[in-house]
């Protein structure tokens, strides 16, 4: 299914699920206000049936469609804070329902069926109802939190910890993590291309072709490209590596694949008339940027220092030929 269809399925399941459990509070309170145990029994029996026939079937739909959407957006489930904590909150809601809300709901219905209009039974029902309401509100709150996280997508703690990026001038550069041992540091290689005037229409089409080509030829390392939203038009290509040894292994994989190398060289030649020569510098580091991703997550959390390269030749020669993606 397409991403749009998955999103429709996911959103529809969330709406039906939350609508069922939230309106349950209203009908439960309405039934208890009547002080008629027959009404209470009928309503709480109905709540149990609606939970089993409407709310519970929505749960696997929400989970499957949510995982599918995260996969299509290349967001790691444990490495994306708002997804991680939405999942924790949703799971907590399920635990509350299974251990407290569901059993108390059935107890209320069973007590109400036994009592007619007996005051003693009504007192017992009222006590159980108050406990049910407290747990139901908590369960609904923890089920609603994921909706807010899904919409707002705040930056939250996560299980994995990629690295924050700062950059300095130059056409290309290598960034490594501060405070780690030599040879085992994460590395971020950046190559910057500044577009010539009038290239804004042709360049994106060429890069889309490059991205498709890299996917089809299985480039040995994923990468990310960011594009400025205002003048001057500039694109940064970022390649992430776990260590210097990983960087060298990727370089060998590129040079050992003649088909891929030839294709990248053709892309680089095609871009020559669309970009300024290395060393040209009219850009402003404060320009707004847009990120194009192929897979992976955003990078946050670790301090970096940058060693800029003054010319393209200082960066490994294959990297400037890469196109949109992510690491």
Q: Is 104 a residue whose pLDDT tops 80?
A: yes
Q: Is 297 a residue whose pLDDT tops 60?
A: no
Can you give the pLDDT at residue 253? 86
Verify that 19 and 131 share a domain, yes or no: yes
Verify that 203 and 283 share a domain, yes or no: yes
* Lowest mean per-residue pLDDT among 163-172, 176-185, 264-273: 163-172
> What's the pLDDT tens digit per position in 113-144?
887 666 788 889 999 999 999 999 999 999 99
| Long-range contacts at 14-19 (CB < 8 A, ≥ 24 apart) | 14/58, 14/62, 14/147, 14/150, 16/54, 16/55, 16/58, 17/54, 17/55, 17/58, 17/59, 17/62, 17/143, 18/140, 18/143, 18/144, 18/147
Q: Quote the domain boundaries for residue 25.
A: 3-152
- Total domains in the chain come to 2
Rounded Cα gap, residues 112 and 117, in angstroms: 9
Last residue of a domain, one of 120, 152, 184: 152
Of residues 16 and 270, the one with the higher pLDDT is: 16
Last residue of a domain, one of 108, 123, 152: 152
* Lowest mean per-residue pLDDT among 113-117, 148-152, 293-297: 293-297
Verify that 283 and 219 share a domain, yes or no: yes
Of residues 250 and 99, the one with the higher pLDDT is: 99
Of residues 288 and 143, the one with the higher pLDDT is: 143
Arithmetic mean of pLDDT, 265-288? 67
Verify that 235 and 296 share a domain, yes or no: yes
Verify that 106 and 224 share a domain, yes or no: no
> What's the pLDDT tens digit per position in 177-206?
444 444 456 788 888 888 888 787 788 888
Rounded Cα gap, residues 20 and 10, in angstroms: 16
Last residue of a domain, one of 92, 120, 152: 152
Verify that 145 and 182 share a domain, yes or no: no
Q: For residue 258, report the phi and psi dihedrals to the nearest 5 degrees.
A: -65, -35
Please tell me the number of Cα atoms within 13 Å of 171 on its side-chain side. 20
Q: Does residue 281 fall inside a structural domain?
A: yes
């Amino acid at each position: 299914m397409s991403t749009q269809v998955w999103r429709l399925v996911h959103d529809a399941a969330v709406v039906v699920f939350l609508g069922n459990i939230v309106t349950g509070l209203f009908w439960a309170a309405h039934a208890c206000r009547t002080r008629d145990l027959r009404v209470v029994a009928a309503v709480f029996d109905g709540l149990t049936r609606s939970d089993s026939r409407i709310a519970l079937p929505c749960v696997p739909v929400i989970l499957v469609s949510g995982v599918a959407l995260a996969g299509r957006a290349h967001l790691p489930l444990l490495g994306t804070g708002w997804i991680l904590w939405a999942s924790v909150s949703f799971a907590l809601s399920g635990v509350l329902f299974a251990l407290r809300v569901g059993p108390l709901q059935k107890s209320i219905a069973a007590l109400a069926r036994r009592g007619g209009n007996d005051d003693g039974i009504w007192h017992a029902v009222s006590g159980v109802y108050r406990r049910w309401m407290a747990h139901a509100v908590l369960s609904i709150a923890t089920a609603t939190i994921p909706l807010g996280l899904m919409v707002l997508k705040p930056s939250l703690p996560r299980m994995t910890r990629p690295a924050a990026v700062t950059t300095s001038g130059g056409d290309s550069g290598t960034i490594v993590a501060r405070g780690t041992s030599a040879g085992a540091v994460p590395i971020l290689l950046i190559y910057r291309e500044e577009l010539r005037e009038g290239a804004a229409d042709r360049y994106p089409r060429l890069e889309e072709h490059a991205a498709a080509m890299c996917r089809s030829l299985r480039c040995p390392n994923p990468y990310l490209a960011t594009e400025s939203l205002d003048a001057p038009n500039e694109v940064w290509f970022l390649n992430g590596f776990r260590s210097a040894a990983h960087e060298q292994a990727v370089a060998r994989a590129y040079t050992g694949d003649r088909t891929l190398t030839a294709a990248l060289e053709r892309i680089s030649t095609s871009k020559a008339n669309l970009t300024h020569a290395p060393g040209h510098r009219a850009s402003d580091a404060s320009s707004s940027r847009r990120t194009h991703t192929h897979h992976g997550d955003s990078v946050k959390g670790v301090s970096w220092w940058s060693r800029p390269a003054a010319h393209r030749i200082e960066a490994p020669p294959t990297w400037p030929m890469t196109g949109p993606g992510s690491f």
